[in-house]
Chain A
Amino acid sequence: MDVGQLQRRFLDYTASLFREGFLDDQFNQLQQLQDESNPDFVVEIVSLFFQDSEKLLNNLTRALDQQSVDYKRVDAHVHQLKGSSSSIGAYRVKNVCIAFRSYCEEQNIQGCLRCLHQVKHEYSLVKNKLETLLRLEQQILAAGGSIPLMV
């Protein structure tokens, strides 16, 4: 596949992620922070997001598994996850976190467990999509092209 085809494939894929709500404009903002002096910025920030999210999801699972649930603690973890997902542009993950926080406030265990399940699901979806996106970027760069920006 030539560079042009790879770039088109990348743009189409990115457009579909926006259309389906996996990513929002914040992701564009991050792409714009990458340049010749910071060529790995997107890969680095996405990796950090993955690391941080996985830690938080483990913490959440443990915290909700307690005999006596500490909702303040649960809320603190969800707050972090909401913050990171919002800053990465992981729109669907962020939205589940918003609902999750409401259930924490209500101390509603069923609601919280449902949200935990949902946020894990959305996280694994967006993780998969981002990994695919980054792979496409690498292919473009390896073929000597540059990453087209979505305007």
Chain B
Amino acid sequence: MKSIANEDLIGSKSMPHGNDVCQGPSSHSLNKKVTALVVEDNVVNQMIHKRLLSNLGIETQVVENGKEAVDLHHSGAVFDLILMDMEMPIMNGPEATRVLRAMGVRSKIVGVTAYSGDYEKRVFMDAGLDDYYEKPLTMAKLVSLLQELVDNN
């Protein structure tokens, strides 16, 4: 059986500095591929989210915590969609979302959380999410949030 190394799934370490990174168009032309960033520390979830997005023709990168997501944006990366897990080591979802919004990131940021209480959801939404879904993400949920992305642009 093929074994999947975690390194295969994490794009950030080999990301070049500058513009040839995933380009998210500020005004959507229908030719441009939709780009997504998956911010998730669980390897199984990384693989599932990546598969879900790839199946829909979306160019996807994966990082394993909020800090890596922030660093990627500092180096100039832009994405149409960011799937943000809540609980992660080093920098969690709410914190990373706050930092990204403070940096001026306007991408659609969707929280993907395990079932959590109303208070945690509120805190996460208030950090600057556009929406959240309960884990695990399914094709139906993804199609629905992508439809909103397309409609709003």
Contact = CB atoms under 8 A, between A and B. Distances in A.
A29 B139 contact: yes
Contacts of B87: 79
Interface string B65-99: 00000000000000000000001010000000000
21 contacts: A26-B136, A33-B51, A33-B52, A44-B47, A47-B4, A48-B44, A48-B47, A52-B44, A79-B87, A82-B114, A83-B42, A83-B114, A84-B42, A84-B45, A86-B114, A86-B135, A87-B42, A87-B44, A87-B45, A87-B48, A87-B135
A43 B87 CA distance: 27
A33 B136 CA distance: 13
B15 to A, nearest CB: 23
A48 B3 CA distance: 7
Interface residues of B, number: 21
Contact of A80 (B3, B42, B51, B135): B42
Nearest to A30: B48
Interface size bracket, A side = 20 to 34
Given A30-B48, A33-B48, A33-B55, A48 B114 contact: no
Interface string A54-97: 00000000000000000000001001101110111000000000
B26 interface: no
B131 to A, nearest CB: 20
A40 interface: yes
Contacts of B139: 29, 32-33
B149 interface: no
B79 to A, nearest CB: 22
A52 B42 CA distance: 9
B135 A44 contact: no
B2 interface: yes
